[in-house]
Amino acid sequence: MLSPAGRDGAKRKGAPLNDPQSDPPNDPHSLPDLALFPLQSVLFPGAQLQLRVFEARYLDLVSRCLREKEPFGAICLRQGSEVRSADDETVLLEGTGVLAQLEEVDAEQTGVLRVRCLGTQRFEIDEPNRQADGLWTARAWLLDDDEVVAPLESMVASVRALANAIGALERKGGSPFIKPYRFDDAGWVANRWCELLPISLAAKQKLMELEDPQMRLRLVDEYLRGKGVVSP
């Protein structure tokens, strides 16, 4: 059994789930059959995702996405495992994920691929279905990208702390973040902090779903101040 968990804060651009007449097949914001890759992590827009793929269903998925130049849906598990499990195991997915665009695919060995992806746009799913080959798919609706807004003056200390953290990572061997760094974008700053912070998957999921990038950064800022990373 697999079903999407309840969620708040996400704003669907497509038509309502219960109104098929208002959701025509060519709706650019609707993806009728999005392939899903359940993960025990939360992907954020603008983030890198690195995967080691070895199950046949996901090897086929990667091959198809490469051939058709299409993304797949990276979505966090609330319960269960991303590897093939018993039919009677309950697996719960979050209701909001992020499209993953393939950037690089290398054959590590026969039957094993190393995959690097870029998180792009958030999406919200309807009830997912498992195909005969074990791959999960769902009808999905694309969500609005974060509005590009500058961090508030009260958040400048958290922006500087991120710049310092990235500098320290680069000196140790490399930053996990893709350039150019956008320290003038509140959503980008918040998302990168969310990747770094040692918080629960549930907390990261809620932060990723927030529509307001300033609110996301404000919550991150409060956490950093509470932990003494940023001075009150």
pLDDT for the residue numbered 87: 59
pLDDT for the residue numbered 85: 52
Query: What's the CA gap between 205 and 4, in Å, rounded?
Result: 13
Strands (E), 80-135: 91-93, 96-109, 112-125, 129-130
- Tens-digit pLDDT string for the chain (232 aa): 334 454 444 444 433 333 444 454 556 678 999 999 999 999 999 999 999 999 999 999 999 999 999 999 999 998 876 655 555 667 889 999 999 999 999 998 888 999 999 999 999 998 888 887 889 999 999 999 999 999 999 999 999 999 999 999 999 988 889 999 999 999 999 999 999 999 999 999 999 999 999 999 999 999 999 999 998 7
pLDDT for the residue numbered 8: 43
Q: Is residue 122 within 8 Å of 104, Cβ to Cβ?
A: no
Q: Is residue 93 within 8 Å of 42, Cβ to Cβ?
A: no
Q: Is residue 97 within 8 Å of 43, Cβ to Cβ?
A: yes
Per CATH, the homologous superfamily of domain 153-226 is BPP1347 like domain (1.10.4060.10)
Query: What's the CA gap between 38 and 62, in Å, rounded?
Result: 14
Render the burial of 195-231: b for 16+ CB within 10 Å, e for the rest: bebeeeeeebbbbbbbeebbebbbbbbebbeeeebbe
Query: What's the CA gap between 134 and 100, in Å, rounded?
Result: 19
Q: Give ∠ CA 10-14-17 in degrees, rounded to 5.
A: 85
pLDDT for the residue numbered 84: 56
Query: How many Å is the Cα radius of gyration of the chain?
Result: 18
Please state which architecture CATH assigns to domain 2-142.
Roll (2.30)
pTM of the model: 0.85
pLDDT for the residue numbered 196: 95
In the block, which residue shows the tokens 């704003």? 11
Q: Domain coordinates of the chain in residue numbers?
A: 2-142, 153-226
Q: Is residue 116 within 8 Å of 49, Cβ to Cβ?
A: yes
